[in-house]
Structure 1
Amino acid sequence: MIMSGLTRRLAIAALACVTLAAPAMAQDASTEPDTAMELGWVEGQADAPVTVIEYFSPTCSHCKEFAEDILPIVEETYISTGKVRFIMREWVRNSVDRTILTQARCLPKKNGLSYLKDIFARQEEIFVAAQVGTLPGTLQIVGTPYGITDREKLDACYQDMDIRFDMLEVEKSAEKYDIHATPTFIVDGTVHPATKAMMTPEGFTAFLDAELAKAAPETN
């Protein structure tokens, strides 16, 4: 069954992400196999010159800021124009994250992404619900437009072993990149923990422009 709540200590800890501003780190493997790229919620064309993987947590306040203030601009300016392929992958920090993500993964990919955006919009409400033991009811309200209309369906998603195996594969991918903070971005095998400069629309678009410049073919 779904956990009915969090301790106050865990709920407070969920309000903040791990400290920003760690340096970028290159990994041994420069790219992932194509089959691994579908480990998440994908937006954009497969042949986009730059693919960005974001590791996020539903209870991360910085991830909420990115989803609401920056991602819409990225979707309009870079993803819809074929410049960037964007992949969201979870990094589970607590039981609330796990419960939310089993619901998101229960849905078709497009609906799952919309559900996660709705979760970010109600993040403060979810923190309160976790504290007072009403999280399942709150998630049912969020999930109702997507067909998660009652506690039975909520629990079925939570207990689905196929979903848990998918989440385990994502966890393995996070270990490969040594993820330890959210949000963290991966481009061409290089890890970019979010910095304060990146966490603004202007800063993140400058980051994408620099990555696109690296990916541009050289001309004589």
Structure 2
Amino acid sequence: MRSLISRVTVVAALAAGLASCSPKSEAVTADDMTQGNPNAKVVVVEYASASCAHCARWNAEVYPAFKAKYIDTGKVNYVYREIITPPNEVAAAAFLMARCAGKDKYFQVIDSVYRAQEQMFQTGQFREGLLNVAQSAGMTEDQFNACVTDEKALKALNDRVEKYSKEAKIQGTPTFVVNGKKVGDEGGGERTLAQLDEAIAAAAK
């Protein structure tokens, strides 16, 4: 795990003072992890980090109701985009592992990482915590090790993070964008279901 630090790009685009989203950043690509209706009129993009405590809290407290109301009903196309925040090596390893698990298990793995996050932070046993998540998703320890040290996959992750951070002007996580418009202030942060309701209703008109 620690060896990842030297290879993880810290994205400078997270600095303050950046403007609003550019429309091109909201085009859904094959690299994106999505849920819901790909043909929905409303696209909700969440820029989040696997090592972000605010993201974990939103995942636990708001996401279940959001999923039931909008994803499961096909009202939105939900897009999850990866951003790296400290500890950078933990976020990177979690995302690499989730992608290795496959698109059908990606969100299950991210959810498990969020649920394990507090204990990992308290104990400092990041590798052990992530390995437990990997094994619960059906990966062996050898597969986990190969996954989180895959240089090609790490470069692809860094390229995505840099691209989205620059194009969408991400200043904090989580940041929610509905049809190209940020929800709430520019700095990012947890958003309530009511705030997302309002943004989605406006976008659906």
Q: Which range, TM-score by smaller chain?
A: 0.7 to 0.9
Q: 2:66 corresponds to which letter in structure 1?
A: V
Equivalent pairs, count: 192
In the alignment, is residue 215 of structure 1 matched against residue 204 of structure 2?
Answer: yes
TM-score by length of 2: 0.80
Instruction: Give me the whole-angstrom Cα distance separating, in 2, the residues matched to 1:86 and 1:120.
Output: 18
Shift of the alpha carbon at 1:175? 1.5
Deviation at 1:193, TM superposition (A): 5.5
Assess if the C-alpha contact under 8 Å between 1:105 and 1:163 holds in 2: no
Deviation at 1:98, TM superposition (A): 1.3
Amino acid paired to 1:27: C
Report SS of the residue matched to 2:55: helix
Query: Structure 1 residue runs of 4+, over 4 Å off?
Result: none
Q: 1:193 and 1:175, CA in 2 relative to 1: closer, same or farther beyond 3 A?
A: farther
**Letter of the 1:192 counterpart:** V
Task: Please tell me the residue identity of whatever aligns with 1:111.
Answer: K
**How far has the Cα of 1:206 moved from its partner?**
4.0
| Counterpart residue type for residue 163 of structure 1 | A
Q: Structure 2: any 5+ residue segments left out of the alignment?
A: 6-13
CA contact (8 A) 1:50 1:211 kept: yes
Point out the structure with max Rg over C-alpha. Answer: 1
1:148-186 Cα offsets, whole Å, 9 max, x none, are: 221x22220012234224313421122111112000012
Distance 1:28 1:139 in 2: 34
Shift of 1:66: 0.8
Match of 2:134 in 1: 143
Alignment identity in percent? 26
Aligned to 1:161: 151
TM-score in terms of structure 1 length: 0.75
In the alignment, which residue of structure 2 is the partner of 1:185?
176
Query: What is the CA–CA distance in structure 2 between the aligned matches of 1:214 and 1:153, rounded to whole Å?
Result: 42
RMSD: 3.0
After TM superposition, list the pairs within 5 Å mapping 1:98-113 onto structure 2: 98-113=92-107
Residue of structure 1 equivalent to 2:10: none
The answer as to whether partners of 2:21 and 2:180 remain within 8 angstroms in 1 is yes
Provide structure 1 residue ranges, at least 5 long, that are not aligned to the other structure.
7-17
In 1, distance between residues paired with 2:158 and 2:4?
23
